[in-house]
Amino acid sequence: MKKTKIQKSKFLRLVYQLQNYWKLGWLDNKARYAKTYLGEVWIALSVVLLSSVLALVYGDIFGSTIDGEIKYFSYLALGITLWNCIADSMALGSRFIIESASQILNTTYSLKSLFLRKFFYICQNLFIGLASILFVILIVNKDLIGNYVQLFLPLSVFLVFNLLIIIYFSLIGCLIRDFAEIVPLVTTIIFLGSPILYPASRLDNFAWIANVNIPYRVLDIVRSAILTGEVNYLKCVLILIAGLILLLFTFAYLERNRTKIALWCD
């Protein structure tokens, strides 16, 4: 039997698989909003409405602009949108293997495929929310549009970081039964301790908190790229390569020990 082009090319096969995972992730999103009239539009509406209300309230405290001409809304909305993605990854990851244990044990699906499906579900929520926020920023901070071209590399680092969160939180969730209950508390503490609602300059002597806060540091790589146009390309490339290498080794470990990992949940 003749092999198709996709079967012959490893690259094309990978692209085809990723496309399928993306479609499965989209089906999860469709299912989530199946009983609503607006559907996935709620993803965009919720983040814009939340950011607008918070900007209205906290704008009186921190001022309508920060660091010169950057509108407080732009700073806050980007922080909220990116943080929601990290919080969703933590929450989803903490329960993922526990909830998927029977599927792992009773099917031949690779763990990689299960993780990527959920990862793309998270990505789609992020892209819809971020696109809506960037559109609003065009209105309130139109001078930042030139910085959008700097977004690709920082956003790639951010996405790989979120995939790692999903994977490692799922492993911790298997080993520590109450971990999923602790995660909401952890995410709230990290959120309140991060310069997301307030400018980093307000930390003063407590600036070290932001410096050791890894989720915030990754979030800020993306936000700074949009707000200031400044990107440390070498740093981003090194982090991205390290993250991808870690992913490859982690996926290889997961596939070798898939049954053992699923049995941890019993």
pLDDT digit string, tens, across residues 112-125: 888 888 899 899 99
- 105/218 Cα distance (integer angstroms): 34
Boundaries of every domain in the chain: 41-263
Query: For residue 165, which of 119, 196, 123 has the smallest C-alpha distance?
Result: 119
Higher pLDDT, 97 or 219: 219
Is residue 243 predicted with pLDDT exceeding 70? yes
- 179/162 Cα distance (integer angstroms): 18
- 260/111 Cα distance (integer angstroms): 12
3-state helix, strand, coil in the chain (%, to 5): 80, 0, 15
Confidence tier at 1 by pLDDT (50, 70, 90): very low
> For residues 239, 242, 245 and 246, what is the CA-based torsion angle, rounded to 10 degrees?
-100
The predicted model gives 234-244 an average pLDDT of: 94
pLDDT tens digits for 192-209? 888 888 877 776 776 777
Q: What is the DSSP letter of 46?
A: H
Confidence tier at 88 by pLDDT (50, 70, 90): very high
Is residue 245 predicted with pLDDT exceeding 90? yes
Which residues fall within 8 angstroms of residue 244, CB to CB, at 6 or more apart?
A: 160
